[in-house]
Structure 1
Amino acid sequence: MSRPVEPKLEAAEVRENRALGSGYHLLSLEAPEVAARAAAGHFLMLAPAPETGPSFDPLLPRPFSFLARDPAAGQVQLFFRTVGRGTRLLAAQPPGTRLRALGPLGRPWPDVPAEPALLVAGGVGMPPILDLATELAARGRAVEVFYGGRGACDLHLLDRFRATRASLTLATDDGSQGWRGRVTEPLEARLADGATGCLYACGPTPMLRAVARLGERYALPTYVSLEAPMACGIGVCRGCAVPARLGDGSGHDAPQSYRMVCVDGPVFEAGEVAW
């Protein structure tokens, strides 16, 4: 797995803050220091940075995976859904305001040569999957994307996925777009049809657990990007601990340990996680 890079604390300027509907937002930031270091799978911690001085509203920053990165322009893009006071405040920031950004953080997606790359996105877990799809496609890699949500209103930026020329399979719980059912169902059908390669997934924990089991069943390398509440992003607060499996080579699991999503992840080999 890749090692974390040195993060930078930067005053990032809002370039665009666009509402996409159903509470989803696209946030573009000018953050050249962060953009120059970031890779697909990294994340940053973000909070308002009032010009009047320190602010404790909200008290803690929020973690966001990168949707897109443009080092030449010094910009990054984020995608999020408003779910509480912190994200509502960020959604209300107009262009020209500055936000406090710390990043890039964590361990990014590994470079696994197995093809095709089978990418699975669920809901707001879409950003690091689109970022990875864009990067792999630009390098001429074969990419297949499986993107699911509760309904059609939860599937966004489909034009960007199609622009990568990756194969795109959509799924919704209510059948309003694409396959009716969970996104892991068309993935399982594809694997049963003989697909090989490498699995990459980000989304709700039940989806990631299902992808991990499929990867194990079909003996495919599988990587998951976990989501967890966190306060610092640098391993100090220990608030993002997740249970991990430590194999001892005997076919039995060693006593349970824990990993920090912010510094040991967010990307893990699926077999490392105690689902």
Structure 2
Amino acid sequence: MPPRHHDIADDLRRQITSGRLQAGERLPSEVALAERYAVSTVTLRHALAVLQGERLVEKIHGKGNFVRRAPRKIMYVGGWGTLDPLTATGPALHITVRSATVSARGSLAALLMVPTGSPLAELSCLSLDGETPQGLARIYTPRDLAPAGVLDHDPARREALARFAVVGPPPAAIRETVCARSATPDEASALKIPSATAVLAVTRVATDFTGRITEAALLAFPGDGVDAVFTSHHVINERHPSP
């Protein structure tokens, strides 16, 4: 016999998928649901955790559990590093940005190929659709290469930040590594998803014409909330006969 919390999750799932519980609707309190199903609140929370993992229910701190709206997909355009909200229906995403100066440590120092302890400009960007996080970006650049105004949120940089684009001068080359993996604890917390949820992770590195790394970005998107498109352009060299 399956555990009791699976039966409860199945019943709530049927109510959600049938439309009896509408998107955005607040569920009864956990105490009320526990009484309805004649179980402990611990068992009830296990059932809700199943639905949260399926992204059918979301818990908003201080407000309760709500039927999650269908995830709105966004488009990540590779080759330049752009989060393109214009490809999605509905209003544009809202972006929150935090900036700081940090020291390069461990894998971050290795990624940027700078000595440990080197000062870096850090931009943490979170895209939101209403109150639902859609993507997280942590963008790093050596402090001496940080464009003027980046740490002060210069309006001239807002467009780049709002689109998770490269914030410095146009690079000579961009390398992007993409993988699907489980969210880290920090990513799960920022994106408000269970830690076992799959995310699409992009590591983007920009270099200048000397080969120096000018920027590294670590991006993470809930796996069911993003499409990634990468386009390669091939240049054909035509040979002309000698005179």
Superposition TM-score tier, normalisation by shorter sequence: under 0.3
Provide TM-score, normalisation by structure 2.
Answer: 0.25
Larger Rg: 2
TM-score, length-scaled by structure 1: 0.23
